[in-house]
Structures are given as C-alpha cells and as structure tokens.
C-alpha cells in the first residue's frame, strides 16, 4: 500500500492537471465560436460560387473547356493535408495522417505532399515526398495568404508538374463531430447537364462573355475551396480539443475521487493501527 505522503502527492498532481485541462477546454470553447461563425458564413458563398460556375460552364462550348478542368493521364498527384500546429486534440491530427498515408499507399502515381500544419508535416517530413510546408498560415490566416499558396499550386498544375491535386481535411460538423474529407481540387469537376436542364439553369445575360467570366470565377472558386477547408479544419480543431479536454477533466476528476477514497481508507487504517498500538502499550504497562 502506498504511503499517505505519496497519495497526497498524486492527488495534488491530478488537481493541477485538472486545472490545465479545464482552462484549455474553456479557451477552445471561446475560440470555437469565432471559428464556427467564420466557416458557417463562408460555406453558402462557396457553394453558390460553385453553382454559378457549373451553370455558366454547362452552356459553354465543350471545345472551350477551362484549362483547370482538363483531365489528363495521372502520373503525379499532389495531396494537401490540413492538420493543426498543436496537439492535445484527440484524434483530430491522427485521423488526417492516417487518411493521407492510406491515399499515398493506394495511389498509382508519383505522390508529393504540401502540408498545412506542423503535426502532419512532422509525420511525413522524412518520407522525401514533401512538396512544401505552409504551417505558418495559421500565424496570419487570411484569404490573401491562402490565395498565394493556392496560386503556386494552380501554376504548377498548369505547367504539368501535377495531374491531380487533392485536399484532405476535417470537415466541421459540430463541436463533438468532425468528418475527414478528401476532395479533388484540380482538375475541377464540372457538372454535365442535358440540353433541357441547360436551358432552364443558364438563363443569364453575360457581360463580358462566358469564357471571360469563367477565367475569373474558376481561380477564385479554387482558392475559396482551399480557404474553406482551412477554416473547416480550424473549427474542427477547437471542437476536438474542447471535447478532448472535457473528457480529460472528467477522467481526472474520477481518478482524483478514487484516490481520495483510497487516501481516506489508508489514513483511517493508519489511525486505527496507532490506536491499537497505544491500547496494547497501555495494557502491557498495566499488566507489568
């Protein structure tokens, strides 16, 4: 049986850990609200932008397909996994790393990785397949900074360095639920409608012409898609960390309660032994 001093030390250590996990939970809860508002506001814009592109492109000349939608033989694939820079977020980062490794092992082409987040970068930096690391995006997360990164990826796609580009990120569902998503960023997917649907869905007056509109909208849509994925990941990170710290605090409280009960029993046993020793000593003196 552990002595009372050792048990008191363990109880104090657990209490200190509880204070830390509880504080981290509250910080993540405060950050989650802001991150959740950001992604909720961006999603309708991103979805509407994609809808406009599909409608405009559906009535365009098939021979004038956008350079960002042209498919070719897949020889090189770029994956863009999005993790966090910090841990203590449950399975948030490990789920991304697991999915990335699965995608890389099943890819029938040369693979490179552009990491966003230190955790996923640490997991693949020795693989020799790192195209780049953009973990510093979190230091100043703006659409402009994300656009600069995406611009380089789009340029390399047009130059033929990559035949496909895929995003891997955690989609924010709610504070307790995140879903790992794998989305094809390039070439973009364009919905093909039949002639009747095209007549109904594309009743627009274009100024300037359709191709010029697509030349502006498609790059913006690609950049918005990546920015949305990063915001989704940020909200998911705070939700996952809040949930993980909540569980850690509850587990620490349960362990502390068990130790307190154990401590009280040990203390009671020690007091009982001391009483017995005193009584036995008194009886021995009396009989002597």
Per-residue pLDDT tens for 111-151? 999 999 999 999 999 888 999 999 999 999 999 999 999 99
Q: Are residues 152 and 256 in the same domain?
A: no
Angstrom distance (rounded) from CA 220 to CA 186: 13
**Whether residue 273 is found in the same domain as residue 230:** no
Residues 100 and 149 in one domain: yes
149 near 137, Cβ under 8 Å?
Answer: yes
- Are 162 and 77 a contacting pair, CB within 8 Å? yes
**Same domain, yes or no: 95 and 185:** yes
Task: Please tell me whether residues 188 and 52 are part of one structural domain.
Answer: yes
* 266 and 279 together in one domain: yes
Confidence tier at 196 by pLDDT (50, 70, 90): very low
pLDDT digit string (tens) for 85-119? 998 898 999 999 999 999 999 988 999 999 999 99
CATH number of the domain that residue 43 is part of: 3.40.1380.10
On whether both 149 and 234 belong to a single domain, the answer is: yes
Average pLDDT, the chain: 87
For residues 37-68, one letter each, b for 16 or more C-beta atoms within 10 angstroms of the residue's C-beta and e for the rest, the string is ebbeebeeebeebbebbbbbbbbbeeeeebeb
Q: Taking residues 268-273, what's their average pLDDT?
A: 86
What pLDDT is recorded for position 60?
57
Asked whether residue 238 falls in the same domain as residue 251, the answer is no
Higher-pLDDT residue of 225 and 70 is 225
State which residues form the domain around 277.
4-17+244-287
Q: How far is CA 256 from CA 13, 20, 36, 68, 76, in A?
A: 9, 15, 34, 58, 54
User: If you average pLDDT over residues 227-255, what whole number do you get?
Assistant: 94
∠ CA 190-200-219 to the nearest 5 degrees? Answer: 30
**Domain end: 224, 242, 260, which one?**
242
Find the mean pLDDT for residues 184-205.
62
Residue 58, pLDDT score: 62
pLDDT bucket at 253, cuts 50 / 70 / 90 = very high
Number of folded domains that form the chain:
2
Q: On the CB side of 285, how many CA atoms lie within 13 Å of its CA?
A: 6
Q: Give me the residue label for tokens 């406009």.
A: 52
Clarify whether residues 214 and 252 are in a common domain.
no
- Statement to judge: residues 92 and 171 lie in one domain: yes
- What is the arithmetic mean of pLDDT over 198-208? 59
Question: For residue 194, is pLDDT > 60?
Answer: no
42 and 178 inside one domain: yes
- Residue 217 pLDDT more than 90? no
Q: Are residues 268 and 157 in the same domain?
A: no
Q: Which residues contact 120 (CB under 8 A, 6 or more apart)?
A: 81, 82, 83, 93, 96, 97, 100
pLDDT value at 176 more than 50: yes
Q: Is the pLDDT of residue 190 over 90?
A: no
């Amino acid at each position: 049986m552990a002595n009372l001093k050792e048990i008191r030390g363990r109880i104090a250590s657990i209490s200190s850990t509880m204070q830390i996990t509880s504080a981290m939970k509250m910080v993540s809860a405060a950050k989650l609200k802001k991150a959740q508002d950001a992604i909720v506001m961006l999603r309708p814009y991103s979805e509407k932008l994609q809808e406009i592109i599909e409608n405009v492109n559906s009535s365009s000349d098939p021979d004038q397909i956008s350079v960002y939608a042209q498919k070719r033989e897949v020889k090189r694939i770029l994956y863009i996994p999005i993790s966090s820079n910090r841990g203590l977020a449950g399975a948030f980062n490990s789920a991304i790393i697991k999915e990335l490794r699965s995608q890389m092992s099943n890819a029938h082409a040369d693979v490179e990785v552009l990491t966003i987040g230190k955790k996923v970068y640490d997991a693949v930096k020795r693989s020799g397949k790192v195209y780049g690391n953009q973990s510093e995006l979190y230091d100043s997360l703006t659409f402009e900074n994300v656009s600069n990164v995406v611009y380089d990826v789009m340029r390399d796609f047009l130059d033929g360095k990559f035949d496909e580009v895929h995003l891997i990120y955690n989609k924010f569902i709610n504070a307790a639920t995140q879903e790992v998503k794998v989305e094809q960023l390039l070439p973009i997917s364009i919905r093909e409608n039949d002639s009747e649907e095209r007549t109904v869905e594309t009743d627009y007056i274009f100024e300037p012409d359709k191709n010029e509109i697509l030349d502006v909208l498609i790059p913006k849509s690609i950049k918005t898609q990546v920015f949305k994925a990063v915001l989704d990941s940020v909200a998911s990170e705070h939700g996952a960390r809040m949930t993980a710290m909540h569980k850690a605090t509850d587990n620490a409280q349960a362990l502390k309660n068990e130790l307190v009960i154990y401590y009280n029993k040990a203390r009671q046993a020690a007091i009982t032994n001391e009483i017995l020793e005193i009584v036995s000593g008194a009886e021995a003196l009396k009989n002597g």
